[in-house]
Structure 1
């Protein structure tokens, strides 16, 4: 048995105000679990993305999340759960004025190939991207795989460079 107090787990540098990886502290080996708090304008992920082998489930505990999907936007309110299958593109946002608290579950633990699509200003289209931490570990930067242009930059507690 493992027990973890969410507030005791370090916050991760993400496009959400709070993102705490609970997988390792709980000693999980078969699925992932993450806790999120999204302030207005925050996102669950760095890009519109899909997982090759992982299913993903989001439980919205409070607030209202809006997920971009291939079928258009889907609203998920407090007390609701949404599931994304392997290979299904999605990205969740807080488009409201209220804080979102949510938990995300993924199984199996490994992502497999993960495609991340972001708008590239140079290519003028959605392109695959890769993410990289800065040398000083204070930011995460997204780059276009096609031309190498920067498509987003996030600092702890900041959405600089992000255009929802």
Structure 2
């Protein structure tokens, strides 16, 4: 058994406003991140889908707004999730969460299975324009987005 104190974490020291609690908890089957978002900040860098992972967010404090799409070009739906509420996204559903309120948001994000390697970003290819999405890939140079149609890579 492992315990950690969320108040002892500093998620705002990370550019994504999160701190992984997966390793401190010795979790092996799911991933967990702790977020603290000031007004106007986002959980991640854009509308995305994990094709190989379901994701759930628990709002501990404040109110988060999520944009949800079934596909990269589908119409968006906006869902507001309040304090002590949860939202779950199945694999393949595009989502992006942010703090549109005037108060700070504290939240936990849980993903299972732990590793997600098939991530898509809802953005057309800037080079060829033939793809509705870009694939998120990790390279030796860092995080990149790659067009599945023309193979062109872009910095994430």
TM-score normalised over the length of structure 2: 0.75
Structure 1 range deviating more: 120-129 or 2-11: 120-129
TM-score normalised over the length of structure 1: 0.71
Structure-to-structure mapping, 1:53-132, within 5 angstroms = 53-70=52-69, 71-118=76-123, 127-128=133-134, 130=136
Look up the SS of the partner of 2:102 in the other structure. coil
Map of 2:72 onto structure 1: none
Contact preservation (8 Å) 1:31, 1:105: yes
Structure 1: gaps (5+ residues): 153-164
RMSD (Å) for aligned C-alpha atoms: 2.9
* C-alpha distance in 2 between matches for 1:44 and 1:66: 10
Contact preservation (8 Å) 1:67, 1:74: yes
* C-alpha distance in 1 between matches for 2:66 and 2:2: 32
Higher strand share: 1
* C-alpha distance in 2 between matches for 1:119 and 1:91: 17
Tell me by how many angstroms 1:94 deviates: 0.6
